[in-house]
Amino acid sequence: MHVFVYFTMFILISSVILASTSILSSVRTERNDLPIVGILAQELRRPPPHKTSYIAASYVKFLESAGARVVPITVNQTLEQYTTLFNSLNGILYPGGGANLTSSGYQRAAKVFYDLALEANSKGDYFPVWGTCLGFEELTYLTSGKLLLSRTNTSGIALPLNFTPDSTQGKMFQGFPADLLKALASEPLTENSHKWSISVESHNSNEELKKFYRILTTNMDGELEFVSTMEAYDFPIYATQWHPEKNAFEWTRPYIPHSPSAIKTTFYMADFFVNEARKSFHRFASQEEERRALIYNFNPDYSGIDNSAFEQKYYF
Ligand SMILES: *[C@@H]1O[C@H](CO)[C@@H](O)[C@H](O)[C@H]1NC(C)=O
Ligand SMILES: *[C@@H]1O[C@H](CO)[C@@H](O)[C@H](O)[C@H]1NC(C)=O
Ligand SMILES: *[C@@H]1O[C@H](CO)[C@@H](O)[C@H](O)[C@H]1NC(C)=O
């Protein structure tokens, strides 16, 4: 063969090798396409026999819809067990509900993971945290060390978001299509199910909250302006007082919006957070441990049939 042919073959083969190693290394160093996110369980007010806590299945579906797998984090585990889970998971979601914000198994686990997340992220070990409704309120308590909530008339109402001028500096809505942002600002696409809120005034007059979280959106309950979406300035910590997971996955209440824009809101929120989890490289010590921890070990019950706010619930 002519030397030129050898040379061309050499170039071709080496570029194939180069391309494949760079694909492999970019997958390994920049993105974790196998994210696993923990969801906190919480105590039951009226526990069925042999059950102590629950997770609403809509939070599981929310994360799964964007490409994450889910591990339930039950209450009352030891610090050592929570630390092992922290080092195995790529993020955590604090769901809504009715657990006590200052003294409950939910609060204790939330605090353990919050403290571990602050420490890890400060050292460059990425670990995102998300709070929805009660989880949002819990984050205001964990960050400020105080219960600063005010009573609002917001149980069971869908609202449009009032974006703050600062919201364009935030990360959460960056990936949203322009027409969806417009719809969010003008149509009632965000479902609120809370009796307590952090008012914009309380937020801004508490030093810890003010310097820790950027307010992305606010809402009015008629009289009081409250924070409805926030994210930490220096940590991957995100929270909505409203319920992005309900639009696509809960059907038990007439005020939950299900329009095409409402369903996209569920998806783009989940997509945002799961992409954050893809930046974390924690993993289980073994595949066996991972399999034993996953939510697939449990089956949800159909609770919507008993007038629960949730169609399906996992009991633990
Ligand atoms: C957690 O522990 C407390 C105190 O021991 C106990 O009262 C409670 O029932 C436990 N909760 C669950 C869900 O196991
Ligand atoms: C939460 O627990 C604390 C401490 O037990 C208690 O003082 C407070 O009233 C509880 N809050 C609610 C809303 O039940
Ligand atoms: C609460 O808000 C609803 C509208 O969502 C309104 O109909 C009702 O009058 C309000 N209640 C009070 C006590 O302001």
**Secondary structure element (H or E) that encloses residue 121, with its range:** helix 105-122
| DSSP summary character for residue 51 | -
Which one of the ligands is nearest to 147 CA? 2
| 7 has a pLDDT exceeding 60 | no
- Is residue 54 within 8 Å of residue 315, measured between CB atoms? yes
pLDDT bracket for residue 2 (50, 70, 90): low
Residue 169 CA to residue 11 CA, distance in Å, equals 45
How many C-beta neighbours within 10 Å does residue 169 have?
12
Q: Residue 48's pLDDT is what?
A: 86
pTM over 0.85: yes
pLDDT digits (tens, 9 = 90+) for 282-309: 999 999 999 999 999 999 999 999 999 9
Give the strands of the sheet with 213-220, arranged side by side.
Answer: 69-73, 36-40, 92-94, 129-132, 237-240, 225-232, 213-220, 162-163
> In the numeric block, which tokens belong to residue 126?
């990425």
pLDDT digits (tens, 9 = 90+) for 76-100: 999 999 999 999 999 999 999 999 9
What CATH architecture applies to the domain 60-315?
3-Layer(aba) Sandwich (3.40)
Residue 118 CA to residue 128 CA, distance in Å, equals 10
Cβ of residue 153 lying under 6 Å from some atom of ligand 3: yes
- How confident is the prediction for the chain on average, in pLDDT? 93
Q: Residue 11's pLDDT is what?
A: 46
Q: Is 243 a catalytic residue?
A: yes
The residue contributing the CA closest to ligand 2 atom 4 is 103
Nearest-atom number in ligand 1 for the CA of 74 is 13
Q: Is 2 a catalytic residue?
A: no
For 144-207, the DSSP string reads HSS---EEEEEEEEEE--EE-GGGGGSSTTTTS-HHHHHHHHHS--EEEEEEEE-BHHHHHHSH
Q: Poorest-confidence range of 6-10, 76-80, 101-105, 295-299?
A: 6-10
> In the numeric block, which tokens belong to residue 73?
């984090």
Mean pLDDT of all residues in 213-227 = 98
- Is residue 128 within 8 Å of residue 237, measured between CB atoms? yes
| 218 has a pLDDT exceeding 70 | yes
In this structure, is the dihedral angle defined by the CA atoms of residues 204, 208, 213 and 219, taken in order, positive or negative?
Answer: negative
Ligand 2 mean position, distance from CA 103 (Å): 7
Residue 166 CA to residue 215 CA, distance in Å, equals 7
Where in the chain are the domains?
Answer: 60-315
For residue 214, count CB atoms less than 10 angstroms from its CB and return exposed for 0-12, middle for 13-18, buried for 19 or more: middle
Cβ of residue 76 lying under 6 Å from some atom of ligand 1: yes
The residue contributing the CA closest to ligand 2 atom 5 is 103
pLDDT digits (tens, 9 = 90+) for 27-66: 446 899 999 999 999 999 888 899 999 999 999 999 999 9
For 252-285, the DSSP string reads SSTTS--SHHHHHHHHHHHHHHHHHHTT-----S
> In the numeric block, which tokens belong to residue 141?
């308590």
